[in-house]
Amino acid sequence: AGEELERRCQSFMAPPVTNMQELRDNPGDMKTHMELLILETQAEVCRALAAADGGATFTVDKWNRAEGGGGVSCVLQDSNVFEKAGVNVSVVHGYLPQESILQMKTRGKNLKTKDGKLPFCAMGVSSVIHPKNPHIPTIHFNYRYFEIEEADGNKQWWFGGGTDLTPTYLNEHDVVHFHQTLKDACDKHGPRYYPQFKKWCDDYFLIKHRGERRGVGGIFFDDLDSQPKEEIFNFVESCAKAVVPCYIPIVEKHKNDPYSPEDKLWQQLRRGRYVEFNLVYDRGTKFGLATPGSRIESILMSLPLTARWEYMHSPSPGSKEAEILNVLREPRDWVQ
């Protein structure tokens, strides 16, 4: 088992955050399983992106958090195909900030604190890929595991995650491929996951003040805790393994597509909306910005290299810009 662990770690972008001895000593702990899964996912995605880019090399930063834990941030900036591609792993522990406790309470979590303190461990892989070509959509995915120890020693845990696509223009074939791949991964674990998490995704990525979704959706879930841990882990693992097959074929298909300055302009305006969602609404970004000692550069890696805001920009009816806007305003079902 120790050898098997060594072998798996060989493929990672950097050594695990938790020290090897601790991982070896707790082979059955969900924290161990999850840390290995997120590091493996990071490595698989980075390798696939680097290959699609034509041999780019990710910058790898391994960092420590003074308050406990650390992470591995992998970034590709201004490469052949990508404007900015970030794949980040973090494994942090310590005490939950008050703001996050309150935020979790609004989600219905009843947490018994001790002197207002709540020890936690949070780990996840999180990624946003912004390509240069407006015909390749942006993808975001995040898979995470949370443990909290309450004042009475009771441990609460849950999984969260999702994968979603943000195209500049609508290509129905791409969107169907993307959703079908996610649905196939979900369906292995039961028929209700995909429809439920597809809807959750459409609801979550709403830019409320615009009445638009950030993109064409995918899947999103949070607070999964009502089945055995191992079962949920297996589901999360299937979703994580679906990232490369749902996205890389779309990158390959469009990476040499020609595009006009007008296409690029519309992409930049959509990037602006991406920034609006992430800074105003995104729960992960808010949690990160509120967590003391969090690594800001890794959290804000999700922001595009460049973005644009024009006053009163409005696409003409019937244009391909209006076409995607319609989908963002009224989400569709892409697969049955």
CB-CB contact of 54 with 81 (8 Å)? yes
Distance of alpha carbon 284 from alpha carbon 299, whole angstroms: 8
* CB closer to its own copies out of 104 and 128: 128
Does 66 participate in binding its own copies (rule CB under 8 A)?
A: no
Q: What does DSSP assign to residue 300?
A: G
* Binding region for its own copies (CB under 8 A) out of 90-98, 110-118, 170-178, 308-316: 308-316
* CB closer to its own copies out of 249 and 284: 284
Greatest Cα pair distance in the chain:
62
Backbone torsions φ then ψ of 211, nearest 5 degrees: 65, 30
H or E element: which one contains 48?
A: helix 30-53
Q: Is 140 a catalytic residue?
A: yes
Does 312 participate in binding its own copies (rule CB under 8 A)?
A: yes
Does 276 participate in binding its own copies (rule CB under 8 A)?
A: yes
Q: Which of 130, 140, 177, 179 is catalytic?
A: 140
Interacting residues with its own copies between 194 and 223 (CB under 8 A): 208-210
Q: Residue 268's closest CA among 237, 243, 304, 233?
A: 304
Does 264 participate in binding its own copies (rule CB under 8 A)?
A: no
CB-CB contact of 238 with 182 (8 Å)? no
When binding is defined by CB under 8 A, the residue of 11, 19, 26, 59 that contacts its own copies is 59
* Binding region for its own copies (CB under 8 A) out of 73-81, 139-147, 250-258, 327-335: 73-81
Per the listing, tokens 């097959």 go with 245
Distance of alpha carbon 336 from alpha carbon 333, whole angstroms: 8
Does 308 participate in binding its own copies (rule CB under 8 A)?
A: yes
CB-CB contact of 74 with 48 (8 Å)? no
Does 279 participate in binding its own copies (rule CB under 8 A)?
A: yes
Residue ranges that bind its own copies, judged by CB under 8 A: 59, 61, 73, 75, 77, 84, 86, 208-210, 268, 272, 275-276, 279-280, 289, 296-297, 299-301, 303-312
Residues belonging to the active site: 140
